[in-house]
Structure 1
């Protein structure tokens, strides 16, 4: 499996996760996709995948506004993970927020590669540096 065919979606909205799943499969029909409505569970999986001996990178779509753990809290926890884990994940914010503060915060994060509006679409997929 090529690195760009592995995706993780972290969003508390199951409908948005289904949309992401559909768009990713249209873009990369052989994609391996993990969908999470629970960011804490997603973080555990990221750590496990990041520490695994299996090669390859993951693209991670992260929502900002979630009830139990925000996207920003997720990124803070991610920052505390090992550097080798950081290198395996390309994180993109996928949010309905158009708040300039959120956009600037994403731009300032060393882990976030881009900030895109929901819903995910094929145009956005084509803009990603996969």
Structure 2
């Protein structure tokens, strides 16, 4: 199986970020992990990348975060000139089971799926293998 180069986790929960990172590292699912604690940090990174090789192939974004939530991030993200032709796989990963949130995520054409946290190791491996 081909390993993806870079994955991105946008989430304000340090325990979730730590757990995701450790699982990704343990199972060697990618070479590099970008971590952001809110949508603003993430969108600033994406806006300032001038080498497409530094863009992640796989993005997990939470919706409930301070400063800029996931919805704000997604609104800005879809305005970037290289989206969606870069073929990034984007998942909303949230603890919310609200149908309104799930339907809102579906309104973004580039969102692959809405995933309810926590993600099992098997689910995470599956998502990485689909993106590779």
Distance 1:100-1:86 versus aligned 2 partners, 3 A rule: same
Does structure 1 residue 26 correspond to structure 2 residue 26?
yes
The Cα of 1:48 is off from its aligned counterpart by 3.1
The Cα of 1:32 is off from its aligned counterpart by 0.5
Distance 1:57-1:36 versus aligned 2 partners, 3 A rule: closer
Structure 2 residue runs without a partner (length 5+): none
Does structure 1 residue 60 correspond to structure 2 residue 59?
yes
Give matches, 1:67-106, under 5 Å.
67-82=66-81, 84-88=82-86, 89-106=88-105
* Bigger helix share: 1
Q: Give 2:122's aligned residue.
A: 123
The Cα of 1:22 is off from its aligned counterpart by 1.4
TM-score relative to the length of structure 1: 0.84
Distance 1:55-1:63 versus aligned 2 partners, 3 A rule: closer
Q: Give 1:11's aligned residue.
A: 11
The separation in 2 between residues aligned to 1:12 and 1:56, in whole angstroms, is: 20
TM-score relative to the length of structure 2: 0.83
| Root-mean-square deviation (Å) | 2.1
Moved segments of 4+, more than 6 Å = none
